[in-house]
Chain A
Amino acid sequence: MPSNRGRRGTVLWTAALATYAFLYLPLLIVIVYSFNDSRLNAEWVGFTWHWYEVLLHDEEMLITAGNSLLIATVSSLVATLLGTMAGIAMHRYRIRPLTFIVMAPVAMPEILLGVSLLLFFIQVLNLTLGMLSIILAHITFSIGFVAIVVRTSLAGLDESLFEAARDCGASPWETFRHSTFPLILPGVIAGGLMAFTLSIDDFVITFFTAGVGVSTLPLRIYSMIKIAVTPEVNAVSTLLMLLTLTIIVLASRIAPNVLKGKA
């Protein structure tokens, strides 16, 4: 019944295109209005770079951007190290409590991690909230994501390769250094990039662990949109999208199966 199948195909395509439109239209509007010569995000007036200039001269925004980059760099480096170890341990030793403790922060609602860390930092560590507390919190939720990516790349490796290395007299460390590590390196880098974007983008956990002194880009965006809708938010959003997109393209080039591994 070709005609029947054809009609069903059309129905599927229409529904799918509508869903794609639903996914993209809102973001497109944010981007388009960032170039709009009007205070209101309501109708198109004309093209301008004005909101990007405003952004460049917004000192507070630049400071928060600097904070975000610093936090993301430090936390993703530490999370990559710990996450890679966790991924290897999960793959090789199958220690159940370790797997649980690595995966649980990924699976639970972010707010729970945020408030429990807030309690812990203030009540137990007596730590003044700020850069350090944010970085520690970001490492905590990133380890799991890195570990998943690293474990996925380990699972795709041929075990006989390592047996061959051992049979040739390589010590466990040599086997790791010269055969395992180079092979999982793309996964490690991709995991690190993922941790970096997770940190740059995180709002919920940062919201609870930042305190009053330090702000990040998402926190600043939040306080801006709580007050009013302004095209400056559109401009910073557009730049942030560009940054995340670049990193994702980079990650998918380095380890093509990372994105699929996420699914």
Chain B
Amino acid sequence: MSDQRTPAARLTKWLVSAPPLIFLLLFFAAPGLIMVLASFRYPGEFGGLAPLVADPGTLHGLTLETYRFFFSDFIYTEIFLKSLLVALATTLICLVMAYPLALLIARSPKRRRDLMVLLVILPFASNFLIRIYAWMILLGPQAALSLMLNGLLGLFGVAPVHLLFSPFAVLVAMVYVHLPFMVLPLYTNLERHDPALLDAAQDLGASAWQRFWRVTFPLSLPGIFSGSVLVFIPVLGMFAIPDILGGTRDMLIGNLIKEQFLGTRDWPFGSTLSIMLTLAVLLCVWIAARLGGRRPHHA
């Protein structure tokens, strides 16, 4: 490193850092602060925010009203809990699906690994809406899957079910869209394991099952935590998938927030919900970091 104390070096430092810093302070930090402030405001008469200062007799100034409102009706807490549950379920299903694949890639010959990883990333490169749309086709009432399932159910005298516009469709698409986020960190972790550890375990008489649960799995915990965070966070804030593939009752936090900002235009309440979501995300990251922090030596 060059001497950073000379005036020229200090000038360079600021010339390089200041433009991105200023841009992000303006378009990331400031909007965030505005949102915190907005959550303490009253809604405007025609949507948006009420003026901060106005004639006496109208609602203006700062208030905790939106926060009180949030806790006054259990439905909001319920939607939050449901979103957490969907995020948890998606994360677990992704983990179960991603683990064998990541393990296989990590244990494949070196020259084949890059191609196998690329094959995981590639579908992830197609547009997010297209990947949701694909499931509209696959789960549609005229599609082979629905016809087969309902034919089978018919044999047992069970009424036909709708796959599309259901919690099932939401969950399938959530898993589909976020699966690569789980595979990649898992693979990066598993690839670094020393095969000698498994050989040693085998020499000591450990069965294949024991070798997995007592060697591979504990060592892969950091990979599991980072993959889980990468899946959990975006799922928690997702609105497009329930919006397109879910029924009217499959609303999650994301849909609720979208509704406040673009539908009923109650911006203070929308801001409050967004802040609750931010807190939930931070809490989850903190928990994952704590759990990950307890891990054995392996970085």
Residues of A whose CB lies within 8 Å of any CB of B are 1, 4-5, 8, 11-13, 15-16, 19-20, 22-27, 29-30, 33, 40-43, 81-83, 85-86, 88-89, 92-93, 95, 97-98, 101-102, 104-105, 107-113, 115-120, 122-124, 136-137, 139-140, 143, 147, 166, 172, 197, 201, 203-204, 208, 218, 221-222, 225-226, 229, 233, 237, 240-241, 244-245, 248, 252, 259-260, 262-263
- Known contacts A30-B133, A172-B9, A218-B127; A119/B100 CB under 8 A: no
Other-chain contact of A82, B2, B4, B19, B25 (Cβ < 8 Å): B19
The binding surface of chain A is classed by DSSP as: helix
Other A-B contacts than A30-B134, A93-B4, 7 sampled, CB-CB below 8 A, are A19-B179, A27-B123, A30-B133, A86-B20, A93-B17, A108-B281, A120-B27
Q: Which residues of chain B in 38-55 are interfacial with respect to chain A, using CB atoms and an 8 Å cutoff?
A: 38, 48-49
Other-chain contact of B136, A1, A12, A85, A225 (Cβ < 8 Å): A225
Other-chain contact of B32, A5, A116, A124 (Cβ < 8 Å): A116
B222 within 8 A of A: no
B74 within 8 A of A: no
Contact B123 A89 (CB under 8 A): no
B187 contact set on A, CB distance < 8 A: 263
- Known contacts A82-B20, A259-B121, A260-B117; A123/B34 CB under 8 A: yes
Contact A111 B48 (CB under 8 A): no
- Interface residues on chain B, number (Cβ under 8 Å): 87
- Known contacts A26-B134, A42-B143, A233-B133; A118/B261 CB under 8 A: yes
Residues of B whose CB lies within 8 Å of any CB of A are 1-2, 4, 8-9, 12-13, 16-17, 19-21, 23-25, 27-32, 34-35, 38, 48-49, 97-98, 100-101, 103-105, 107, 114, 117-123, 125-138, 140, 142-143, 176, 179-180, 184-185, 187-188, 208, 233-234, 236-240, 244, 254, 257-258, 261-262, 267, 270-271, 274, 277-278, 281
